[in-house]
Structure 1
Amino acid sequence: MADLAAVRSDTPGCREQVFLDSAGSSLPPAPVLTTVIEHLRRESEVGGYRAAAERQDALEGGYGTFAELLGCAPDEVAFTDSATRSWLSLLDAIPFREGDRVLVGESEYAANAVALLRHAERFGTRLEVVPSDGSGQLDVAALRGRLDERVRLVSAVHVPTQGGLVNPVREITRAAHEAGALVMLDACQSVGQLPVRMDELGVDMLTGTGRKWLRGPRGTGFLAVRRSVLDHLAPRQIDHSGASWVAERAYRLRADARVLQLWETGIAERLGLIRAAEYLLELGVAQVATSVAWRAAHLRDALADLPGVRVHDLGERTCGIVTFTVTGVDPERVRDRLAERGVTVTVSTAASSRMDLPRRGLDAVVRASPHYFVTAEQLDACVAAVADLARVPGMSPRS
């Protein structure tokens, strides 16, 4: 892992606060900020088209950068404006038939679930839930029991937004492929804090965002799809970037993943996204994963030792997300009181996880997500602030 002082020097926003919200929208490092601002300034000088043309090599190089990061080929990568856009584009391109089954886990994210429910209404697909096992992760044995030739897609969430577990993606994929089903991995909360490689996980499709653990700009996303799968997709949301208008009544689709990519985009933001991926690769993905895991474990263990505080992370394997509640204090009030102490966390609610949190009797949890630029002293400051909250006599949800 790079020198902590160096990465903190690149991250001015982490000096005056204890920033524990990289699972929401992290702090972009200085090289990303500089890349975005310099391109916007260049657009103001020569216009957007000319400025983009000047950076064409960097834009094209981004496909190779993400291929290196994600363990795939450059022509299997496409860029979008969000993880949700990436996920919806892939879902819409799968040629479902009426009666096809789609399997999801109990930790499925709200955006995906809403899209799948809408899809079922429109196209007659069947959405079915695979239960969690005793550890809280997706039950692979239960998944195998539900798989048959009618299952078209298994939607897997690598790291749930409302908890610190890591789902067993290799095992999920192996089971799905044995039944002939596709696997689409929501890697929104894993890319940037964990190694996420398609060649190792075996997934067919993958989606992610720039603004979270990758530390890129908001309004950026990416996807990757195996060429063997791409050949069988039928994308509908295409423009003259994903296809060529070759005659008055004819067009020709691109043969790579960029068939799913729209022409218009924020060039400055995309360049910032590419720079964020380069920054991660420079630090070392494995080294970052080790650093994040240590910080989360330190925070998780310390919070679990506090009277009146309950940690809610599940799974056989945990990651950089730490979720907890304080007895008698509404999670939003915890968030706000911590902000007054210079500690930035967020709240995950049942609105984003209708199958998981209610099953566990939870309406919401406080979510802390320390990245590698957070110091041990800052983690301890967070724990001290939570301890003070838990000791306040008569604290109520509205206090």
Structure 2
Amino acid sequence: MIYFFQIPEIQDDTKLQELPLPAAQLDLQTLQYLKQVDQLRLQYKTCMNYNKIIEIMNLNDGLSNYVKIYDDYLKTNVEILAIIGFKEAQKPKFRYKTFISKDIQEYSTEENSNPEACAAEIMITRYSYAFSFQLDAFHHIQFVLKYINQTFNEEKPFKEIEKIITEINKSLNIFHTGVQPIRRLNNVINDVLYFLVQKQNTLIPEFKQTVFYSVKLIIETNANSLYIEKLRIMREYKLLCQVCKTSFSKLSISYERLMEIQNEIQSGVFDFLKAGMLFYKAYAFWAILKQNHILIEQENYSQKSFNLLSFEICEITKYLTYLYQQYLNMKIDSDYYDYGMQFFVNMFLPFSSKLHKTHDIIRHVEIEKPNPEYIFNIVENSIDYFESIPQVNKN
């Protein structure tokens, strides 16, 4: 389940080399540097937009082949903050498309201070970098989306299973490249952009720290969405369950943070977050059912008795039906919602129903009966595609 943000494209033709600078800064080296930055920014602007990325994809090319150009421009952002942001230069009039603001489709830095304008460039370029690489991975993701439902039946192995894993790996590698600038900035945002952090109430959502962090979490769960399919195919159910729990937690945090500024955020983002939380919780429960079922088949009762394993199965199967009804009631018109629905209908519920028929007729000895929420809450919450060590064949 992946959420594709619109790319916040650069809309202006600002040339930094033409901005009036104090005489003390008008040395040849600085002017040459600004000229170089303008060239890099133009290249970045030309490539990091929806139409250009689609064109590159249609040529069977990829953004990864031009990473150095994009990275070279990102490296100049902080230097420009020092040269123009904190000096008595004319403020740059940057202009961008927005991607998460509810009522603002385009934003100009004309009314911002110099530091704020340069900070806007730093943040927007990192958003556009991440979102562009996610879009660039779509031709790999398409294959996964097209055939993933043919992997649900483990008794009938899908002949293209290795191809699916290959496409997942390619997608994850592209996602990994795209998210790095956001993750690096997140680590130093309080130091580098401290003046933005102090003005959260007056900024548009794109420049609020809480939005920046929330978007980072959503991007990370996008990668996890592919990673869990690889884990499922490899039958790594325990790790799969942990990744689902982590994804649920990240979307929950993102939801809580964005709800604090709900009136400023596009409603579609909240629809995704609510659907995603239900999806990952249901997927985690499905993985727990698989683990319990395997332990019973192996007669492995070293950690849990048959009685407890069977009881958990009964409780979880009923709870999955409840989660499905919640998901069904959302009725969201989107590809990601349809993606989640096929898992409920074709994988979660059929397996759940099969186990329920077997274990519901068993008389369970009186025990301390854990409810499904308790079972879910005790799942480890520390595994993530980008952060977990060890990982299952990450490369």
- Shorter-chain TM-score: which interval? under 0.3
More strand by share: 1
More helix by share: 2
TM-score normalized with structure 1 length: 0.25
Pick 1 or 2: higher relative contact order, CA cutoff 8 A, min separation 6.
1
Query: Which has more radius of gyration?
Result: 2
